[in-house]
Amino acid sequence: MIVLKFGGTSVGSVENIRKVADIVSNTRGRKIVVLSAMSGVTNSLQKIINLIELNKAEEAKKEIEELNKKYQQTVYELFGSGGKFDEGIKEMFLFNEKLISYLDKKYSDRVEKEILVQGELVSTYLFQQLMVENQENSTLIPALDFMRIDQFGEPRMDYLNEKLSSVINSHQNDDTFITQGFICENNDCEIDNLKRGGSDYTASLIGAALEVDQIQIWTDIDGMHNNDPRYVDKTFSIDEISFDEAAELAYFGAKILHPQSIIPAKEKNIPVLVKNTFSPESPGTLIHDKAKVMKIRAIAAKDQITAIKIKSYRMLMAYGFLMKVFEVFEKNKTAIDMITTSEVAVSLTIDNTAKLNEIIAELQSFGNIEVESDLSIICIAGDLAQNKKGVTSAIFNCIDEIPIRMISYGGSNYNLSFLVKTTDKIPVLNLLNDGLFSNLKEVESKNILV
Ligand code: ADP
Ligand code: ASP
Ligand code: MG
């Protein structure tokens, strides 16, 4: 059994949906196909939610109409000459009515979550209807029947295992299962989601639960690149990468993978193959535990980082001080990304500022607090074990003109990260690319990178 996940662009147009159908049909054996919403749809749903929150029902209605037009057109192009047309139009009408029904409601977290899942429900419906029309056997299994998170937002693997295995086992003769990425139920059996980009996470969780042979992430680029192609021109696809390195890059901003999506696969040692829907013949990137060691594999950047510095002459070296600091973050359910300490101060970074005021107020009893926002973490992933010579100097030589706010090295063997102003992010990514990768052959011969 394998899992194939297709992202928004892959199901973003009729032409692309047909490509996905071809890839699925050409994949032998039992498989679970996980689909995202069509590209732009989740953003559009989020816009509708924001307008409802601002009590702008008329504008929200216009956005719903736009979405409905897109769906009608998709049904027309997919089934215009086939038997599924009337049924498809009827189904899109029902989706439209559902969205319209929220215009009478006041904004709430519930309304937000119920609206956000609509995109994946539509894309999976359309895709399965296409499979029926193509006379390909397939079974649609609703993610809400098996994907559940607990009160802390963590996936319930036991539940997933039990529910999903029982559905699959009850369809012994079926090869192709289709389900929604991203969407789930929470502990109170309400509709919820796995956060933006969460379809990758769905795929990995399903793969881990069923202990599949491989998890394939099909997207709009030929695998994971050595640097962020949105900001750097001369990036290239990586053939293979270890779970640890891929997990660091995903966590620190490589948009191609949801931040948590590698962990379930790593825990069950299931290889993840990242492939391009628009170039299926390209080898893509294999994430597995046997990747050849590279000193520097790839670079990523994570934005919207806030640094908090706590200066305390009295307490820092006293035992228990850091525990008290961490307790403040724990109480406010805010994760810390980076941390550095000195004799008199500790600096740490967060990306979720929802509770920043509460955190600052509580930290003030420990000392003087300084807060700086609009920062980015630059993450360099590779086999950066501390005894490898030349790696750190190669990195910092490239960027010696750039002010660095914090550095984190040695926390794991696979990551060196540092904090810069977001305005310096693009120059830093480019300088590192030129300095570390542009002349790979020459650098390899100097044994800096490999
Ligand atoms: P999908 O809709 O298939 O989930 P995403 O847009 O979430 O696709 O992720 C693919 C995009 O991630 C690429 O088009 C690329 O712009 C971006 N990206 C960022 N960092 C990387 C990287 N290191 N390697 C490849 N793509 C990356
Ligand atoms: N549709 C969701 C999003 O746009 C989930 C995903 O595509 O992975 O975030
Ligand atoms: Mg994605």
For residues 221 and 205, give the distance between their C-alpha atoms in angstroms, rounded to a whole number: 23
161-190 pLDDT, tens digit per residue, is 999 999 999 999 899 999 999 999 999 999
Distance from Cα 232 to the centre of ligand 1, integer Å: 13
Task: Pull the structure tokens for residue 306.
Answer: 């806030």
Q: Is 224 in the pocket of ligand 1 (CB under 6 A)?
A: yes
Give the range among 41-45, 68-72, 222-226, 341-345 with minimum mean pLDDT.
Answer: 341-345
346 in Cβ contact with 339 (< 8 Å): yes
Q: Residue 225: is its pLDDT beyond 50?
A: yes
The strand pair at 368-381 and 415-421 is best described as antiparallel
Ligand 2 centroid–CA 200 distance in Å is 9
> Rounded CA gap, 107 and 116, in Å?
13
Residues of the chain with CATH 3.40.1160.10: 2-220
- Determine whether domain 298-445 maps to CATH 3.30.2130.10: yes
Tell me the ligand closest to 202's alpha carbon.
2
Contact 16, 46 (CB under 8 A): no
C-alpha 362, offset from chain centre: 32
Q: What is the spatial distance between Cα 357 and Cα 359, in angstroms, rounded to a whole number?
A: 5
| Whole-number pLDDT of residue 449 | 55
| 9 touches ligand 1 (CB under 6 Å) | yes
Ligand 2 is surrounded, with C-beta below 6 A, by 7-8, 36-37, 42, 119, 181-182, 196-199
The tokens for 428 are 């830093």
Q: Is 198 in the pocket of ligand 1 (CB under 6 A)?
A: no
pLDDT for res 320: 81
Instruction: For residue 431, name the pLDDT band (cuts at 50, 70, 90).
Output: very high
Which residue's CA lies nearest to atom 5 of ligand 1?
Answer: 256
Confidence of residue 215 (pLDDT cuts 50, 70, 90): very high
* pLDDT surpassing 70 at residue 137: yes
How far is Cα 53 from Cα 11, in angstroms, rounded to an integer?
29
Q: Which atom of ligand 1 is nearest to the CA of 224?
A: 24
Q: Which CATH superfamily is domain 2-220 in?
A: Acetylglutamate kinase-like (3.40.1160.10)
Neighbours of 119 (CB within 10 A): 29
Give CA–CA dist 425/441, Å, rounded: 26
Q: For residue 440, what pLDDT is reported?
A: 54
Q: What integer is the mean pLDDT of 361-366?
A: 93
Token readout for 435 is: 């300095």
Q: Whole-prediction pTM value?
A: 0.94
Token readout for 447 is 């044994």
φ, ψ dihedrals at 47, nearest 5°:
-65, -45
Confidence of residue 39 (pLDDT cuts 50, 70, 90): very high
CA–centroid distance, 9 to ligand 3, in Å, is 9
Q: Which atom of ligand 1 is nearest to the CA of 217?
A: 3
Q: Which residue of 219, 234, 286 sits with most ligand 1 atoms within 8 Å of its CB, as the best mutation to test the pocket?
A: 219
Mean pLDDT of the chain: 93
Which position has the higher pLDDT, 444 or 94? Answer: 94
Segment among 72-81, 178-187, 220-229, 381-390 with least mean pLDDT: 381-390
In terms of C-beta density within 10 A (0-12 exposed, 13-18 middle, 19 or more buried), how is residue 319 classed? exposed
Candidates 396, 379, 398; CA nearest to 226 is 379
Q: Is the CB of 18 under 6 A from ligand 1?
A: no
pLDDT above 70 for 144: yes
Which atom of ligand 1 sits closest to the CA of residue 238?
24
Question: How remote is the CA of residue 423 from the centroid of ligand 2, in Å?
Answer: 27
Model pLDDT, residue 439:
60
Q: What is the pLDDT of residue 385?
A: 75
Q: Which residues pair with 418 in a beta bridge?
A: 378, 407
Helix axis angle for 41-53 and 109-116, nearest 10°, is 160
| Residue 350 contacts residue 325 (beta carbons within 8 Å) | no
Atom of ligand 1 nearest to the CA of 10: 3
Q: Which residues contact 200 (CB under 8 A, 6 or more apart)?
A: 5, 7, 181, 217, 257, 258, 261
- pLDDT for 76 beyond 90: yes
Which helix (H) or strand (E) segment is 32 a member of? strand 31-35
For the chain, residues classed under CATH 3.30.2130.10 are 298-445
Helices (H), 252-390: 262-267, 321-331, 356-363
Q: Which amino acid is at 242?
A: S
Q: Assess whether pLDDT exceeds 80 at residue 315.
A: no
Position 444 confidence tier, pLDDT thresholds 50, 70, 90: very low
Residue 340 C-alpha from the chain's centroid: 26
Backbone region of residue 253 per phi and psi (left: phi > 0; alpha: psi in -120 to 50; beta: other values): left
Task: For the chain, count helices (H), then strands (E).
Answer: 15, 16
262 alpha carbon – ligand 3 mean position (Å): 13
What is the H or E stretch that residue 244 is in?
helix 243-251
pLDDT at 192 over 70: yes
Q: Which residues lie closer than 8 Å to 422 by C-beta, 6 or more apart?
A: 303, 304, 305, 374, 375, 376
Query: Residue 446's pLDDT band (boundaries 50, 70, 90)?
Result: very low
User: CB neighbours of 108 closer than 8 A, spacing ≥ 6?
Assistant: none
Ligand located closest to 255 CA? 1
Tokens of 202: 């769905």
Quickly state the pLDDT bin for 379 (edges 50, 70, 90): very high
Determine the distance separating the centroid of ligand 3 and the alpha carbon of 200, expressed in angstroms. Answer: 7
